[in-house]
Structure 1
Amino acid sequence: MSARWFGHLAISEEMKMTDDTKHSGPPDPSLINLNQAHEVRYWTKELGVTEAQLRAAVREVGHSTSKVRAYLKLKR
């Protein structure tokens, strides 16, 4: 199985998500992918933050949804 690097994560061809703009939620609810517009829209609404706040949180703690939630909770 070959993998490509996505930021600090290796993603195999099987794990790649499609660029389906009709998709309303994240394909993997444990990770936040800032490279997919529909995921950015989903997570900003889900977490009640702006895109800038979401990007800052991911920059600070990584793509883990649980870590981003905890980080944002501390910032409120």
Structure 2
Amino acid sequence: HNTDLKKRLAAYAGQHPDQCRQTDADPETDCMEFDIAKGRFSFRLTAPYSEERREKARQYARENNAAD
């Protein structure tokens, strides 16, 4: 049910039909299925930031005007 992922996969399938294609869609549940070439899709899992790491990132942003 990840709408952003579905949109990205549909766009990718449109741009690269030799690498990815939509195989099924269920309008009742809004689920979609895709066939995608091996090696073209991955998830990158990252560990959550510790409070100490968050504070260091905030401090770095303040010192380097990251908001400007």
Q: Which category describes the TM-score, using the shorter chain as reference length? A: under 0.3
Rg larger in 1 or in 2? 2
Q: Which of the two has greater strand per residue?
A: 2
Q: Which of the two has greater helix per residue?
A: 1
Q: Report the TM-score, using the length of structure 2 for normalisation.
A: 0.25
